[in-house]
Chain A
Amino acid sequence: MREVKCMIIDRFEGDIAVIETDGGTIEVSVSELPENAREGDVLALENGRYTVDCEASEERRRKASDRLRRLFER
């Protein structure tokens, strides 16, 4: 059984990761996340285990960065 929700790391507050989901914000212990997880990473929850969706993370990062750059250049 594979369960995937939209979950994005907003920030870290000490040992707590603050994660934005389409249903609101959740807080998860950093120890539950992959070691390389960082702000802006898109997470997937598979069989109760968090993984980083590298492709989705980079795609969202690139798109947001392009849009922000255009705002500054306007």
Chain B
Amino acid sequence: MIYSSNRDALHKSAEETLTVRYIDVGQGDCICITCGGETMLIDCGEASEAENVRRCLNKEEIEAFDFVVATHPHSDHMGGMAEIVKSYDIGEFIMPSLAERDVPTTLYFEKFLDAAEEKELKVTKAEAGRKGKLGDARWEIVAPVSDEYSNTNNYSVGIVLYHGENSFIFTGDAEASAEEEMVNSGRFGHIDVYKAGHHGSKTSSSELFMDTISPDIAVISCGRGNSYGHPDVEALNEIRRYTDEIYRTDMCGSVEITSDGKELEVRCER
């Protein structure tokens, strides 16, 4: 496997423990990452899950976030974001820049705007190539690569997280064409832990993308008995070409993966 120079540059030894929690929010995404006392939240699920998310975060004694990332403005990813903004101090809020025609008009998004204005939230545009730290973990934004898309899913912010020898990727609902853009930008190679794109929909986990990241572990965040057939058998088959170690939140509940920089440990809620 060929690794990009960026990945090598991001590789550092790890002394702190990294914890990635894929919180079970039914049909949606919500990932909480902690390392060395620093915190990042990627998406927060539907507004109806806000109390559930708050309970999970309280249990981990999380009172503030250094970074909150909204991958893209669909209600299953940022429906509850107004509550997050109101309830927690946030160092920086990262989301994709959207063409005017693609800006949501929904009530939950309006509530998010209300809360963001009220809190004078610092909001920055996700720019591919930007790098940052979270404790002794390193992250890099790998998507969106283009300025405009014809499909809101493809605006999804993609993030690769490195901790010692371990790596994680989060791609929101990015579909095959956006996955191809990410691969072609050459910012990453093999990734250890893959959060399946678009809840395991057949629109994502394309052959090219899976061949590039060849993951050892996959996590699928989806709701039990959802109406959309997620995860789709086509996507599952693509993932299974590389790993049978697949954790689904509809079956396992919340999934927690810890890294000491070398080993990965997976714990499921049920």
Contact = CB atoms under 8 A, between A and B. Distances in A.
Interface of A: 6, 8, 10-11, 13-14, 16, 18, 20, 22, 24-25, 27, 39-42, 57, 60-62, 64-65, 67-68, 71-72, 74
Nearest to B75: A10
B123 A8 contact: no
A60 B227 CA distance: 28
Given A14-B228, A39-B152, A67-B117, A8 B106 contact: yes
Interface of B: 46, 48, 74-76, 97-98, 100-110, 113, 116-117, 120-125, 152, 201, 227-229
Contacts of A13: 201, 227-228
B250 to A, nearest CB: 16
For the complex of A and B, 8 pairs with smallest distance between CB atoms: A60-B105, A65-B103, A13-B228, A40-B105, A71-B123, A65-B100, A11-B74, A67-B113
The prevalent SS among residues of A at the interface is mixed
A10 B74 contact: yes
A61 B103 contact: yes
Contact of A71 (B102, B104, B117, B228): B117
Contacts of B124: 72
A74 B92 CA distance: 12
Given A10-B75, A11-B75, A16-B227, A71 B106 contact: no
Nearest to B104: A40
Nearest to B230: A13
B100 to A, nearest CB: 4
B108 A20 contact: yes
B203 to A, nearest CB: 9
A10 B123 contact: no
Contacts of B121: 71
Contact of B228 (A16, A22, A25): A16
B100 A61 contact: yes
Given A10-B75, A74-B123, A68 B113 contact: yes
- Which of B102, B105, B116, B201 has the most chain A CB atoms inside 10 A of its CB? B105
A68 B107 contact: no
Contacts of A74: 120, 122-123
